[in-house]
Amino acid sequence: MMSNTKNIRNVFFAVIAAFLTVASFAGCETTKEINEDYLVVSSMAVIPNEEERGMLTLKIEGDYAESAWGIKSIEQETTGNTIVLTGTLVSKGQGAFEYEVRIPQYVDVVKFNKRVLWTRNP
């Protein structure tokens, strides 16, 4: 009887260990919001859009310098005359990134969270 209880306990712990192992490989990832203090912009270029008069494209290249975190996604929202970029990080992701922002005529500022990246009239 004691042997059966011990076997059941061992099987139970084996099933739990297998479940946790599978869960760790099945898309369970740690994410958090991008902190602009760790954002390193290595280059930016403003390119006029030849097809749409007045429209600009801001090309941004850089890296995220907080160890073990990489950029998962970057989103943008326009509020008034400002485009605000935000984003999500993933643990053990790639920090290097390239992103393009289309800037209409009425937008004067592009920011990443609170950090100003570009202004129309410096």
What ranges do the domains of the chain cover? Answer: 31-119
Look at residue 29 in the predicted model and tell me its pLDDT: 73
Q: Tell me the per-residue pLDDT of 52-84, one tens digit each, with 9 for 90 and over.
A: 788 999 999 999 998 788 889 999 999 999 999
**DSSP 8-state class, residue 38:** G
DSSP E strand stretches across the chain: 31-33, 39-48, 56-64, 69-79, 82-91, 97-103, 109-112, 115-119
Cβ atoms within 10 Å of 97's Cβ, excluding its own: 21
Look at residue 7 in the predicted model and tell me its pLDDT: 72
- pLDDT average, residue stretch 41-58: 88
**DSSP 8-state class, residue 3:** H
Q: Exposed, middle or buried by CB within 10 Å (0-12, 13-18, 19+), for 3?
A: exposed
Query: Going by DSSP bridges, is the β-strand pair 82-91/109-112 parallel, antiparallel, or unpaired?
Result: parallel
Look at residue 43 in the predicted model and tell me its pLDDT: 95
Query: Going by DSSP bridges, is the β-strand pair 39-48/97-103 parallel, antiparallel, or unpaired?
Result: unpaired
> What's at 91, amino acid-wise?
S
Mean residue pLDDT across the chain:
84
The pTM for the full model equals 0.72
| Cα distances (angstroms) measured from residue 28 to each of 3, 13, 31, 35, 90 | 36, 21, 10, 22, 11
